[in-house]
Structure 1
Amino acid sequence: MINQYGGELAALLTAVFWTITALAFESASKKVGSLSVNLIRLFLAMMLLGVFGLVTRGSFFPFDASSHQWIWLSVSGLVGFVLGDLFLFQAYVVVGARISMLIMAMAPPIAAVTGLLLMGETLDAKSLLGMALTFAGISMAIMARKEPGASNGKNRFSNPLRFRYPVKGLLLAFGGAAGQGVGLVLSKYGMGDYDAFAATQIRVLTGVAGFVLVISIYGGWSRVREALMHKPALKRLSLGAFFGPFLGVSFSLIAVKYTSSGIASTIMSIVPVLIIFPSVLIMKEKVTWREIAGAVVAVGGVSLFFI
């Protein structure tokens, strides 16, 4: 089964890793700011990947990568890490995390279309059904989430279609989804048969350079210095960097190496569902039956990829 479904299993592990890192980075971002978190997490990941490469491949940096791999993986890092995350974090500010996460569930079809156009990937009927069920389950779970501070016990989003959201925020969230979906396919195209962890390091190096430029433009270096002095935030950052840019992103490249970009992206998109349960246990949030039903539907959709 591991040989047959290696890509799908790697994608499922990626979703688990990203669930852990989301909780860690959410806590750290509230303490030291998202730009600082983005730069520090990528720098820590670069060091972890370098040590891993030194032990497994005898080189701290991926000097053996071809020019094709350096170019396309670097572009992938800019699209996925820098542009995608910048759009997504700004979308949180404009329309909130719940709507942003729903629109981020568009990443799988974006990845599938990009994989079709760039690499000629196709999906069978069962895979399309699995994608549809997973997207439906995620939508059920996220649309049921209550906004903190909702009054009188009523869910102000019980009928979200009645509300109008700023077009700017929706476009920013879509930009985040596009960054994730397109970045994943570009990674697959650039990586080829190259080592997934070394390929991730190239993406991370580009991400570090991109955020250094962004922080320099916005004048955020004082926040970075404050973040480096904040021990509780650094602990969460270290945990998030290990499970996110180090393990999570590397396993996402393993996933697209052995299965289609659309399937891998769909399985990885169940993070908003997986995060419900640790949010209840750790963050003491309340969960509704609709959220549980959405989780069941999403897991059912993912299970179709393994049948």
Structure 2
Amino acid sequence: MVYGIVGQHIPPLRLNLIKGIVAIALLILTILLTGESWSISNPMTILLLCLSGVIGISWGDTAFLGAINYLGARRVLLLSTLAPPMTAIAAMIWLQESLNLTAWCGIFITILGVAWVVTERVPGNIDHSSAHLWRGIGLGLLAAIANAIATIISRVAFTTGSITPLWAALLRLGAAELILFGWMFLPQSQAQATSSPHGQTRRIIFAACFAAFCGTYLGIWLQQTAIKFTSAGIASTLLQTSPIFVIPIAICIGEKVSWRAIAGVIIAIIGIGLLFFASVEPLP
């Protein structure tokens, strides 16, 4: 929700760079406070995690933030629901992770519930012109594909070597930030940065840092934890359920929530329950 507001003031590339810098600082602080040691013995694990960060964060997150500006958060979240089935199918092909019938039912029901929530028509000021629509769809699909590929690569990294999710999150973000820094020096990126509005800079930067704490620092750390300890398809599905958590937040801030949105949340929760039931069963 915060990124949807901040994205109107900060270009996607710069916003992605800011949230990554904040998250890296917090991850390093966490490592220093917890004393978590570097335990990677296989260089391939480092390479895979860095590649996952470049694809999923520098490319995928930038495309995601750009798509929000063209389509709005709900439409982009709908396109994001394509990532779990793509991840599950790719995991079957490349990782031989065959999910049982309960897990597939859970994935389908969860995606159905999320889609039911995000496809509800809401008033907004998004430009619905054809050019913006197709550009937003293209960026949204790119974000979903990058998300699926990055999840698979992270899963492979965890199976090839011993590494904690905290260090994995730091490696992924570090590699992504290096690419984003280089990206910022491209002429087109510099032009966007120069033309971006600078009003309410302190409030916008504070909001971006708050979103980085919740969505990037905690989000990527927990994401890597999920990918390490469960199958890629189940982890990816659970990671796409954020729209159902927007509903109670909307209620708390006084927004009117429809019965359709509540029904979508209930459907998604049923799907999540099936996924948890499937995840405690031995995976083939």
Matches of 1:65 and 1:167, distance apart in 2: 45
Q: How does 1:8-157 map to 2 (within 5 A)?
A: 23-57=1-35, 64=40, 66-148=42-124
Change in 2 beyond 3 A, CA 1:263/1:45? same
> Which residue does the alignment assign to 2:274?
304
1:171 aligns with 2:138: yes
* Other structure's SS at 1:32 match: coil
Structure 1 segments (4+ residues) deviating >6 Å = none
CA contact (8 A) 1:144 1:288 kept: no
Structure 1, unaligned runs of 5 or more: 1-22, 151-162
**CA displacement at 1:271 relative to structure 2:** 0.5
2:248 corresponding residue in structure 1: 277
Confirm or deny: 8 A CA contact 1:137 1:296 kept in the other structure.
yes
Q: Which digits, 9 at most, give the CA deviation of each residue in 1:122-175, with x for residues without a partner? A: 11000011011101111111111313269xxxxxxxxxxxx9x95543332111
Contact 2:4/2:69 (8 A) holds in 1: no
**CA shift for structure 1 position 178:** 1.2
Residue 177 of structure 1 and its aligned partner are, at CA, apart by 0.9
2:180 equivalent to 1:211: yes
- Aligned pair in 2 of structure 1 residues 214, 224: CA closer, same or farther (>3 Å)? farther
1:285 Cα shift? Answer: 3.4
More deviation in 255-264 or 214-223? 214-223
The 3 A distance-change label for structure 1 pair 223 and 206 is farther
Describe the shift of the 1:92–1:29 C-alpha distance in structure 2 as closer, same or farther (beyond 3 A): closer
- Deviates further, 248-257 or 91-100: 91-100
DSSP 3-state at the match of 2:7: helix
Counterparts of 1:146 and 1:71, CA distance in 2 = 43
Which of these residues, 229, 234, 240, is aligned with residue 211 of structure 2? 240
How far apart, CA to CA, are the structure 1 residues paired with 2:198 and 2:8? 13
Letter in structure 2 aligned against 1:208: E
2:282: which partner in 1? none
Q: Report the CA distance shift for 1:300/1:231 in structure 2 as closer, same or farther (over 3 A).
A: same
**RMSD between aligned residues:** 2.9
Q: CA deviation at 1:56?
A: 2.8
Provide, for residues 231-282 of structure 1, a one-character-per-residue CA deviation record: whole Å limited to 9, x for no partner: 2223222222222222111111111111111111111211012112213433
Q: Give the equivalent residue in structure 2 for 1:196.
A: 165
Matched, 1:250 2:221: yes
Structure-1 residue corresponding to 2:280: none
Q: 1:235 to 1:172 in 2, by over 3 A?
A: closer
1:16-50 Cα distance to aligned partner (Å, 9 max, x none):
xxxxxxx3333333343333221111011111111
Which stretch of structure 1 is more off in the superposition, 91-100 or 32-41? 91-100
Task: Pick closer, same or farther for the CA change 1:293–1:129 going to 2, 3 Å.
Answer: same
| Local SS of the residue matching 1:147 | coil
Aligned to 2:153: 186
* 3-state SS of paired residue (2:185): helix
Whether contact under 8 Å (1:36, 1:223) holds in the other structure is: no
Distance in structure 1 (CA, Å) of the matches to 2:119 and 2:197: 38
Q: Tell me whether 24-33 or 120-129 shows the greater mean CA deviation.
A: 24-33
Specify whether residues 186 and 176 from structure 1 end up closer, same or farther in structure 2 by C-alpha distance, changes over 3 A only: same
Cα pair distance change 1:57/1:31, threshold 3 Å: same
Counterpart Cα distance in 2 of 1:93 and 1:25? 10
Give the number of aligned pairs: 270
The 1-side partners of 2:41 and 2:179 are apart by 20
Q: Quick one: distance in 1 between partners of 2:195 and 2:201?
A: 11
> CA 1:94–1:25 in 2, change beyond 3 Å: closer, same or farther?
closer
Q: Is the 8 A contact 2:84 2:237 kept in 1?
A: yes
